Every structure is written in C-alpha cells, then in structure tokens.
Amino acid sequence: MTVEIKQLIELTWIAQQHKIKSVLATVVALEGSSYRRPGVRMLIHENGQTFGAVSGGCVEKEIVLQANSVFKTDIPKMITYDGRFKLGCEGIIYVLIEPINISLDFKNVFNSIVKKRVPFKTESFYSKTEGMSEAYGTQFLLGGERFFLNEKINSSKEIKSFKESFSPLFQLYLFGAEHDAVHLCKAAANLGWRVTVVAPADESKDISFFKGAHDFITPTFETLDVSKIDEQTAIILMTHSLSKDVQYLLALAETAPAYLGILGPKKRKESVIDKALEYNPEISIEFLEQLYGPAGINIGAESAEEISISILAEILSVVRKQKPINLREKLGRIHD
C-alpha cells in the first residue's frame, strides 16, 4: 500500500539523519497461502527498532536476526520460510532483505510524486534460492526516473522480478465539522488516509479540532475546488444541514469519487436527491445513484466512534469490491 511505503521511506530518511543504517524486508513471492500477500514490507534499523510486519508475528524475529549479516556486508539476501511447519499456514514465503539508502534526490522526487497524486511502481530483483547476492534489490520508477534503494545493486543477471504498482494515497473528503466528523477524521487518519475537512464558510472551528486532518478548508459552495477528487477519493456529506448537503452535492455533481456517502436515514437521502434535482434537473442520474445513504454497514453502531468504524468499513468494501460477510462464511482464502 502507498501509505505503508511512504511511512517506511520517511522513517528511513529520519534514521539516516542520525547516522543509523536501515534494512528493508519485502515479501517478493509466495507459494500457497499466507497471512499477508507479496509486497508487504518491514523496516529494521541498526539500533534494533522495527516498523511494519510481513506476517502475523512469527517471521519477524527471524528477519531481524537475518538482517544482521546485511548490516555487516551491505549485500542483499534471500530467505525462505515454509509456513506449513513454522506458521501454521499453507505456504512458502520468500523474503528479500536489502540495505536501504535514501538520497536527497530520491526523497524530493518521491515526495513530489506523492503530493501530486501520481501513481508509481517498484521492481524487486530476487531469486528463490537462499543466500546473498548483489544482483538482488529494489528500484523505484517515479515518473520517468529510476532510483535503486542501494547503489551497489547489479541487476544484470537473469533473475526474477517482483513488480508492484502504487496508486495515489487514498483520501477522504469530510463535508461537515460537527462532533461525529471529528471522530471520523481521526479514524480515517489512523488508516493512513489523507483527510480534508470541508466546513461551511461561517464555521468557527479550525484544523486543531480535527486530529489527523491534512487540510481544513471553508470555501463557498461556488468556489469549492473539486479538481483533486479522483477515483482514489471517498466523500462523506455530514453537515447535519439538509440545505448544505444539497448545495455540496450539487457542487460535486461533475466528480467521480470511489465512494460517495451521506449521513442520516434513508428519507433524508431521498430529500437531498429531490432537492438537488429541483435546483438542477440536468444532474446525472448515474451520479445520484452512487450515493450511499445511510452511510455505513450494519454492525449495530451507536456512538460516533462506532459509526466511524461502520462508515470506513463500507468505504473499504466498496473500493475493494467486497460484500461484507463474516469471514467464517467466506469460501476459500481470506485474501483472494
């Protein structure tokens, strides 16, 4: 996920400023099933600090132990875990452990790509044979530029590669500044989402009320900038004002978010749609039909904190095209 790799890059850069070496562990291949998929990563600092995880907790200690030789030699290595015997799963995990060094140029380009919401890719070179090799390692493809995590990498040999594509950071636009929006903002930020709170122009609150918010804006309905709303964006209308929700909905009519939800009972949703059509009969029916209301899935949520979980769960299920069910009722693997 984009948020995970972004956090690991930031942590590596901070460590470098303190002269602390870092090693990156990446699951590059899997045979059978496992707790997590290829592409999950774990960062290990030379001082013993670790960030992220590649399993349910069984593999991490061994990775830290194996990372010691990479710290000493600066040469990447491959390790293998047969989860059928060690993890209680049904798969074999292949993990690439490599030195990671972030140049200032890489950091600036990476941050620019993330800020501009431009997709990027990575490619990790490896083999399924355990051991060390300078042919192993990961490169980032950022726009038209390539950056290796370790300058010593020589990937000219005939080896395998694991390619991964990263979408822009997922973002949530919250329209409203009431008590429940505060909790939803915090919960979404904990998922690593970029949260923008859009409040009415007469709102007395500011960004300090919204823990985890990246932006707090108070545009008029006519000046609302919707150019940053894309297929990696979720929107929730929760102003607690029927007229304001209608006006925001009209302002959003030309957007195509991944999810569009509205707080409140079904009748309120119907009222918002009816009023919107009164103001603009030309508004797209397809746009209105994508409106989820009441927002959230039925988990018996009552408090603002519980409702936040319900809404975020629905957003994830829509974005990942999953029908919410009990996992014990799911046939086959947990992760398809």
pLDDT in tens, 72-129: 999 999 998 876 655 555 578 899 999 999 999 999 999 999 989 999 999 999 999 9
Task: Compute the half-sphere exposure of residue 191: CA atoms within 13 Å on the CB side of its CA.
Answer: 19
Which of 222, 180, 250 is closest to 197 using CA atoms? 180
Least confident of 115-129, 168-182, 228-242, 320-334: 320-334
**Domain range annotation of the chain:** 2-166, 171-319
Q: Say whether pLDDT at 325 is over 90.
A: no
Q: Say whether pLDDT at 251 is over 90.
A: yes
Q: Say whether pLDDT at 332 is over 70.
A: no
Q: Say whether pLDDT at 208 is over 80.
A: yes
- Model confidence over 164-197: pLDDT tens digits? 999 999 999 999 999 999 999 999 999 999 999 9
Taking each helix axis as running N to C, give the angle between helix 266-279 and helix 242-251, from 0 to 180 degrees, rounded to the nearest 10.
60
What contacts 18, CB < 8 A, 6 or more positions away? none
- Model confidence over 11-48: pLDDT tens digits? 999 999 999 999 999 999 988 766 668 899 999 999 99
pLDDT score at 111: 95
Give the residues across from 259 on adjacent strands.
Answer: 234
Task: Compute the half-sphere exposure of residue 114: CA atoms within 13 Å on the CB side of its CA.
Answer: 20
Burial class of 201 by CB neighbour count within 10 A (0 to 12, 13 to 18, 19+): exposed
pLDDT score at 278: 95
pTM of structure = 0.83
**DSSP H or E segment with residue 55:** none
pLDDT score at 186: 96
Is the Cβ–Cβ distance between 120 and 166 less than 8 Å? Answer: yes
- Any idea which architecture 171-319 has in CATH? 3-Layer(aba) Sandwich (3.40)
